[in-house]
Amino acid sequence: MTPEAKVTTATLTSSPEFLAPIKLPTSVSGTGQVLLFDDWPKDGFLNDAAKITAVTFKKNILKIQVVYQGGCQEHDFELDVWTGFLLSIPPQAELYLSHDAHGDTCTENVEKLLSFDLTRFKRPDVASAHPSLLRIYEPVGGSFANEPHMPLIEWP
């Protein structure tokens, strides 16, 4: 990723506040690309295996520590965020960490700290008395884990 800002357009349909397309930064000051989706894409998401070892959330920046095998090529990660929320108290958002190894067949264990800016994804209709929870799913090679990374992360 380059330090210059790239912009993509996404259309949100789950909230009247977001009926118009919004522009989202995809690579700003070391943060990774965040994509919104309403329906699961027919081709799915990139899901080469990567293990989430730690997650922190502070000032709208989600940091995910991952370990994966590779070392011969650059790997790309993005965070795919479902625009709907699970109907629970508190509401829960589903996020999928996508990983593209670009066919890297090397077997060195590589550790990487990923950062994603979630500033644009606050739910306007959730009372501040109940923060939402982030359910983050790691790629397991060919699919995503059946259970989210624990513990779930509070999202103010």
Number of C-beta neighbours around residue 102 at 10 A: 12
| Spatial contact of 98 and 138, defined as CB atoms under 8 Å apart | no
**What is the structure's pLDDT at 139?**
94
Q: Which residues fall within 8 angstroms of residue 95, CB to CB, at 6 or more apart?
A: 62, 79, 80, 81, 82, 134, 135, 136, 137
Predicted model pTM = 0.76
Evaluate if residue 124 carries a pLDDT over 80. no
Number of C-beta neighbours around residue 133 at 10 A: 18
| pLDDT tens, position by position, 29-77 | 367 899 888 888 888 889 999 999 999 999 889 999 999 999 999 999 9
| pLDDT tens, position by position, 68-103 | 999 999 999 999 998 888 878 888 889 999 999 999
**What is the structure's pLDDT at 126?**
52
* 1-10, 116-125, 129-138: range with lowest mean pLDDT: 1-10
Mean pLDDT of the chain: 78
Q: Residue 100 class from Cβ within 10 Å (0-12 exposed, 13-18 middle, 19+ buried)?
A: middle
Evaluate if residue 27 carries a pLDDT over 50. no
Evaluate if residue 144 carries a pLDDT over 50. yes
Q: Residue 19 class from Cβ within 10 Å (0-12 exposed, 13-18 middle, 19+ buried)?
A: exposed
Order across the sheet with 51-58: list the strands.
Answer: 51-58, 61-70, 108-117
Class of 7-155 in CATH: mainly beta
**What is the structure's pLDDT at 90?**
84
Evaluate if residue 15 carries a pLDDT over 90. no
